[in-house]
Amino acid sequence: MSRWPTPDTPLYNHSLATIEDWLRALGARQDEQELHRWSLQRAAWQAELSLEIEELQVRYLGVAGGRDVVRNLKYALSRQEIETAILLGP
């Protein structure tokens, strides 16, 4: 039995502890001062994730001619949809 809801479950049906566990499984690191902020690094990009009230904000740092690219992903999307969108990168 999985410790998380199925991947097609909207993120708003996950507990905060589950979302944090999932972000850690993706390789994200939680900010020690601002607990709603996370950082995620891949070979081609670096992103800051922010757990906002109605959405997960993903900011890919310095990827568009040195400018950031921001995506706002609603919690109504499934965990799989959000994970796919994040990992696709900018």
The pLDDT tens digits of the residues spanning 4-43 come to 999 999 999 999 999 999 999 999 999 999 999 999 999 9
Percent of the chain residues topping a pLDDT of 90: 91
Quick check: is 19 in a domain? Answer: yes
pLDDT score recorded for residue 1: 45
Q: What whole-number distance in Å separates Cα of residue 33 and Cα of residue 21?
A: 18
Quick check: is 32 in a domain? Answer: yes
Quick check: is 42 in a domain? Answer: yes
Quick check: is 4 in a domain? Answer: no
Within a 10 A sphere around the Cβ of 78, how many other Cβ atoms?
A: 17
Quick check: is 49 in a domain? Answer: yes
Domain that holds residue 48: 11-88
Quick check: is 2 in a domain? Answer: no
Q: Enter the tokens of residue 35.
A: 């607990």
In one letter, which amino acid is 68?
Answer: D
Number of structural domains found in the chain: 1
